[in-house]
A and B are shown apart, each in its own frame.
Chain A
């Protein structure tokens, strides 16, 4: 069963509803079981033996985006994703995880990405920075990867991309918790990055999170600077290496993706990018640390219908803000938001806007 530490978090959450209003899955499903407290309660019951940890319970543990809205809200510091992730490990060990999830895990273990396809190569040999593209951009949102490289080129940055970019481990970690298999992926990735010996610019903030937070803990620290692509590009703008564009006259609101919002607390860079791309920067009411998740690539992989609803709800936020465009620099957000762009609204890849 789950670790003592995770159980402690679960037992503290089992009678607490304070963060339930922030759960995007709860909002879209309305199911009581999709609250952090219910998931904590179920694990506590399983531990006490009053409920079996069965396929149904395992399924409930996968109905979560791991977006950290609950963790961010907790005044005490409890972390529902901690026990939810461990419950996923438990589900996989005992072969209780949903089939759609197992398919993604098998893909990730066999091919290094959840899509089970060969990752296209963006390989190029630069000398200033190493750009880590990540599997979501590489396979699902290739234009964003190309746009980032074009932006760097425009700013005179010589970028290297690994020819066979290894997986960071973030997808597998979300699918089955932080197990040795994930750490092995992380180690291989860190080794490849360290061999390049260049500062790393990470396109996907989810990859950046695992690299910056988990790699050091797992004994595979990246020895050079790791920067989110958004922070890096904002610096290029601030230093004048990347010129601002003329105003578009369009008002856009930036979507703070889960990791920028709640891991890195990085809000200014994408807004600086939006401004440099010529947008009038407006805001959605739910923003920055409190920004509602619009879904993740991994969740889209096994529960596409629910993720589409969650993305649609984010578009509702935009509509109420009065802005015409949703601005993002996150491949995962772009992937989810592109599922349901409402009429009259635009989804903007900020890298494309800066080229």
Chain B
């Protein structure tokens, strides 16, 4: 879109007509705040005094109907549309790299319906997830989606990246929690997925949009299941002799019972945690686990967990660590606690079946540590989301003194990501577990899917023939 041309103002007035003049802005400072999300490179860019990717125009619709109107305009003029929820994504998925329209959905923040008997809540997708959770909490219920970004992200952002919360091992991730969706398609049509998520009435439409990162449609309303707050929630901690036995024990536990939280730490990450708990350094692999629900069931589950842990020679470390961790679980994400510039860092999270997940851990660790040792890279990992069939690794790299020059830093950053992600792909893993693809991993999508990518490309071509939705993201 060309700035300051007659056509620019013509289109702006059309958008103003669609959503109200006060909800359209071309002011510089208003656009500038969308040039940085949680993606390390966008932060580095800003910090280095560079100008990040900015939209030409900010549009803030207040309803699905207004989203539809905006999309019709954008589709006609072939203007890129990047949807922005909370902006707290770590993959650059919301960065308006193609300019055009930035669609900020936070005015669509209504809770439409809470039905505690049927067990669901319906809301607009621009609501901050924590606000929605609070509204359900008021009635003694929870969605049980408690990610670290609960207070930062919108419902739309969590859906678009198929996010996950700390209680996922019992309650699942976004695609398990979402019952139905209302979606505005790129041509402006508003569609609904079928009223329930499980059926044999043709293919389910929800998975097309959950995790599609704003490339196939814009989710405008969502329905989630809600559950009663648990009667008890108990925390336990263990120290395994090494990561291998840890993986084995956790696999056996999730194949037997349903903990809400399992966090198994590698030996590098264990060092700092274990010292805090027992007061001295001890080698091994730390794990904390949470059971919740009805007291009687939790008691029975606890017995099973303890016996499996014993079988794998775990040392039981009591309840205190888990309780404290649960209470202060988000403290780590505040400034001065979490990694920050000038450090370079990234989370190479991936997911695989139980037979592959440990292989991936070692492959990624070698790829990062051996390939980038000269930069003083550190590699730490834990596994915090578990399934009967597999688990994920939340592996992180940290470089304390990366190149100062932003271009040089970008090159190194991408080389590390390429190496880490390819190690996962080569061993039965995927690009990412729960942060999404975004701009960060877009270039690697074709390596992951191979010829299967044509399925997604066909969908994209049919639904968004002009390619207006979130260009350059997700490899589409």
A–B contact with Cβ pairs below 8 Å: the answer is: yes
Residues of A within 8 A of B (CB): 12-22, 26-27, 30-33, 38, 41-42, 44-45, 48-52, 54, 56-57, 60, 74-76, 78, 285-286, 320
Q: Which residues of A contact B107 (CB under 8 A)?
A: 30
Give the interface size bracket for B toward A. Answer: 35 or more
Cβ of A20 and Cβ of B151 under 8 Å apart? yes
Chain A residues whose CB sits within 8 angstroms of the CB of B128 once the complex forms: 20-21
Asked if residues A54 and B29 are in contact (CB atoms below 8 Å), the reply is yes
The 3 A-B residue pairs with the shortest CB-CB distance in the complex, in nearest-first order: A17-B152, A30-B106, A30-B107
Pairwise interchain contact A41-B46, C-beta atoms closer than 8 A: yes
- A–B pairs, 11, beta carbons within 8 Å: A12-B336, A14-B46, A30-B107, A32-B87, A41-B33, A44-B46, A50-B49, A54-B29, A56-B30, A75-B330, A286-B134
Query: Inside 8 A of A13's CB, which chain B residues have their CB?
Result: 335
A18 touches B134 (CB 8 A): no
- Bound CA span A42–B30, Å: 9
Q: A42-B32, A56-B29, A285-B137 are in contact. Are A30 and B333 (CB under 8 A)?
A: no
Minimum CB–CB distance from B121 to chain A (whole Å) comes to: 14
Q: Which residues of B contact A44 (CB under 8 A)?
A: 46
Hey, which chain B residues are within 8 Å of A16, CB to CB?
Answer: 333-335
A17 to B330: give the CA distance in the assembly, Å. Answer: 12
Interface presence of B84 (CB below 8 A) = yes
A45 CB → nearest B CB, Å: 6
- Is the pair B334, A75 in contact by a Cβ cutoff of 8 Å? yes
Q: Which residues of B contact A48 (CB under 8 A)?
A: 46, 49
B-chain residues with CB within 8 Å of residue A57 when the two chains form the complex: 29
- CB neighbours of A27 from chain B (8 A): 109, 131
Determine the distance from Cα of A30 to Cα of B131 in the docked complex, in whole angstroms: 13
Q: Which residues of B contact A17 (CB under 8 A)?
A: 38, 86-88, 149, 151-153
Please measure, in the bound complex, the distance between the C-alpha atom of A33 and the C-alpha atom of B102, giving whole angstroms.
Answer: 13
Distance between B318 CB and nearest chain A CB, rounded to angstroms = 25
Task: Decide if the interface of chain B is mainly helix, strand, loop or mixed.
Answer: loop
Which residues from B are CB-within-8-Å of A31?
A: 30, 60, 104, 106
B133-157 contact mask (Cβ, 8 Å, vs A): 1 or 0:
0110110000000000101110000
B392 to chain A: closest CB distance in Å? 23
Interface status of B28 (Cβ within 8 A of chain A)? yes
Partner of A19, one of B38, B135, B151: B151
CA distance A54 to B151 in the complex (A): 30
- Complex interface: chain B residues within 8 A of A42 (CB): 29, 32-33
B 223-259 binary contact with A (CB < 8 Å = 1; else 0): 0000000000000000000000000000000000000
**Bound-complex Cα distance A285 to B131 (A):** 12
- Option from B49, B137, B152 in Cβ contact (under 8 Å) with A18: B152
Given contacts A18-B152, A20-B86, contact A51 B29 (CB under 8 A): yes
At the interface, yes or no: B27 with Cβ under 8 Å from chain A?
A: yes
Q: Does A15 lie within 8 Å of B29, measured CB to CB?
A: no
Q: B144 to nearest A CB, angstroms?
A: 18
Query: Chain A's nearest CB lies how many Å from the CB of B197?
Result: 27
Give Cα distance in the complex from A18 to B84, angstroms: 17
The smallest C-beta distance from A111 to any residue of chain B, in angstroms, reads: 33
With the chains together, A17 CA to B337 CA distance in Å? Answer: 14
- Asked whether B336 lies within 8 Å of A76 as measured between CB atoms, the reply is yes
Residues of chain A within 8 A of B153, CB atoms compared: 17
Instruction: Provide the bound-state CA to CA distance between A258 and B58, in Å.
Output: 32
List the A side residues contacting B13 at CB < 8 Å. none
Residues of A within 8 A of B32 (CB): 41-42, 45, 50-51
A38 to B128, CA, bound (A): 16
Knowing A32-B84, A45-B32, A54-B29, say if A18 contacts B46 (CB, 8 Å): no
Contact between chains at A15 and B104 (CB < 8 Å): no
B109 to chain A, nearest CB (A): 6
- Does B331 lie within 8 Å of A75, measured CB to CB? yes
The interface residues of chain B lying within 8 Å CB-to-CB of A38 are: 33
Q: How far is the CA of A38 from the CA of B88 in the complex (A)?
A: 12
Name the CB-closest residue of B to A74: B334
CA A297 to CA B87, docked complex, whole Å:
32
A260 to B8, CA, bound (A): 49
**CA of A14 to CA of B334, assembled, Å:** 11
List of B residues within 8 angstroms of A41 by Cβ: 32-33, 36, 46
Look across to chain B and name the residue whose beta carbon is closest to the beta carbon of A52.
B28
List of B residues within 8 angstroms of A285 by Cβ: 134, 137-138
Contact across chains for A21 and B151 when beta carbons are under 8 A apart:
yes
Q: What residues on B are CB-neighbors of A26 within 8 Å?
A: 106
Q: Give CA–CA (A75, B30) in the complex, Å.
A: 28
B163 within 8 A of A: no
Given A19-B151, A27-B109, A41-B46, are A33 and B340 also a contact pair (CB < 8 Å)? no
Q: Would A18 and B333 count as touching, CB distance under 8 A?
A: yes
Contact present for B340 and A32 (CB under 8 Å): no
CA distance A50 to B28 in the complex (A): 11
A320-B126 Cα distance, complex, nearest whole Å: 21
User: Given the complex of chains A and B, what is the CA–CA distance between A22 and B88 in angstroms?
Assistant: 15
Any A CB within 8 A of the CB of B379: no
Q: Complex Cα distance A16/B87, Å? A: 10
- Docked Cα-Cα span, A56 to B130, in Å, equals 30
Complex contacts, A45 vs chain B, CB 8 Å: 32, 46
The reply to whether B29 and A12 contact each other, CB–CB distance below 8 Å, is no
Is B51 positioned at the interface, with any CB of A under 8 Å from its CB? yes
**Contact indicator B46/A30 (Cβ below 8 Å):** no
B334–A21 contact, CB under 8 A?
no
Known: A51-B29, A56-B28, A56-B30. A18 touches B36 (CB 8 A): no
CA distance A57 to B336 in the complex (A): 27
Query: A56 CA to B50 CA in the complex, in Å?
Result: 21
Partner of A78 from B30, B50, B333, B335 at Cβ < 8 Å: B335
Query: Complex: how many Å from CA A286 to CA B366?
Result: 49
CB distance from B62 to the nearest CB of A (A): 8
Q: Contacts A21-B152, A50-B50 known; list 16 others, CB within 8 Å.
A: A17-B38, A17-B149, A17-B153, A18-B333, A19-B151, A21-B151, A26-B106, A30-B126, A33-B29, A45-B46, A50-B32, A50-B51, A51-B29, A52-B28, A75-B328, A75-B331
Q: Mark B317-345, 1 if CB is under 8 A from A, else 0.
A: 00000000000101101111100110000
B34 in the interface, Cβ–Cβ < 8 Å?
Answer: yes
Evaluate contact between B130 and A21: CB separation under 8 angstroms: yes
Q: Is B359 an interface residue (CB 8 A)?
A: no
Distance in angstroms between the alpha carbons of A26 and B138 in the assembled complex: 21
| Inter-chain contacts of B152 with A (CB < 8 A) | 17-18, 20-21
Q: Does B43 contact A (CB under 8 A)?
A: yes
- A30-B88 Cα distance, complex, nearest whole Å: 15
Cβ of A30 and Cβ of B29 under 8 Å apart? no
Interfacial chain A residues near B149, Cβ < 8 Å: 17
Closest to B45 in A: A50
- Partner of A33 from the list B33, B86, B88, B134 (CB cut-off 8 Å) is B33
